[in-house]
Chain A
Amino acid sequence: EAEVAQSPRYKITEKSQAVAFWCDPISGHATLYWYRQILGQGPELLVQFQDESVVDDSQLPKDRFSAERLKGVDSTLKIQPAELGDSAMYLCASSIGQGARYEQYFGPGTRLTVT
């Protein structure tokens, strides 16, 4: 069964360092999402791509976060510099189309700890 792949699964970094996460969506899925889940809260959308274009990055802290999906397939989310408050689970999801009626398939996430 096809799955969304994410790496690394765990990342510990020091404050002010740069960190990057990678996501490989299910083949053929045009829509890709990056979510942040803080402990005790639900996932919050950071950025949504349709193919290689950003369709929603309203909740992405653009002073330190960046995301790209250059060829419309895999994607990278970067934080520079990392802050203590960035400690969270970063989830990637993909769907075949845009809109909530298209099921979003989630990867296992990357657990980030900033010290």
Chain B
Amino acid sequence: DQQVKQNSPSLSVQEGRISILNCDYTNSMFDYFLWYKKYPAEGPTFLISISSIKDKNEDGRFTVFLNKSAKHLSLHIVPSQPGDSAVYFCAASAELGGPINAGGTSYGKLTFGQGTILTVHP
């Protein structure tokens, strides 16, 4: 079962406009969420994160919003730049439960969504 879902395989945005990437999760144990960016031929790189005690976290042009009741998070990029063109993955983890053996959600284990390809046109 897909516990973290990114339902939009791709998104195309004009340079300077806002990019909004969405992510949904089903496991109520998840309490820490991250976004990673991946360029071709490179490994993913960490972008921004948010704890479930917050509903918003901002870092420069990047803002992540968390709606716990809807089990939904989104990444906003404003303004979008051509260099932002990449695959974006959301990931979730259960942190507060402490180390838990396999069968549940192991402590610190990241569960990734399928990714969204963002293309920013000049």
Binding site for B on A (CB under 8 A): 4, 40-45, 48, 55-58, 91, 93, 98-109
Contacts and interface: CB of A to CB of B under 8 A. Distances in A.
Nearest to B5: A42
B43 A100 contact: no
Interface residues of B, number: 28
Contacts of B107: 98-99
Contacts of A101: 32, 49, 95
A42 B115 contact: yes
Interface of B is mostly: loop
A81 to B, nearest CB: 25
A44 B109 CA distance: 10
A99 B4 contact: no
Nearest to B94: A100
B5 to A, nearest CB: 10
Contact of B43 (A41, A42, A98, A109): A109
